[in-house]
Amino acid sequence: MNLSTKFPVTFSRYSIDFIQEEARHLVDRGLISRQQRISSLCDYIPAREWIWVEHELEKFDYLLRDRISDLISCETWSND
């Protein structure tokens, strides 16, 4: 079932950019690893708002079983 048919369209602050940035922040702080599943983010997002995160991830073809590294793979590195 498509989530957009089940839930009315409302404003959500959980854009894909926001989710990716939060995941990068959690990885940088050592709270999660790049090898963990995307579903591990639910420990850091309020339960009542998790449905909006799932919806946004679904829009961009991410699965909860995918790795965090898949979500934040668009990182750029500069030479030290």
Each domain of the chain, given as residue ranges in start order, spans 12-71
Please tell me the distance from the alpha carbon of residue 41 to that of residue 64, in angstroms, as a whole number.
9
Who wins on pLDDT, 73 or 27?
A: 27
pTM of the entire predicted model? 0.74
Instruction: List, as own/partner pairs, every contact residues 43-49 make where C-beta atoms lie below 8 angstroms and the sequence separation is at least 24, other chains included.
Output: 45/14, 49/12, 49/14
Over residues 27-44, the pLDDT tens digits come to 999 999 999 999 999 999
Look-up of token digits 């048919």: 5
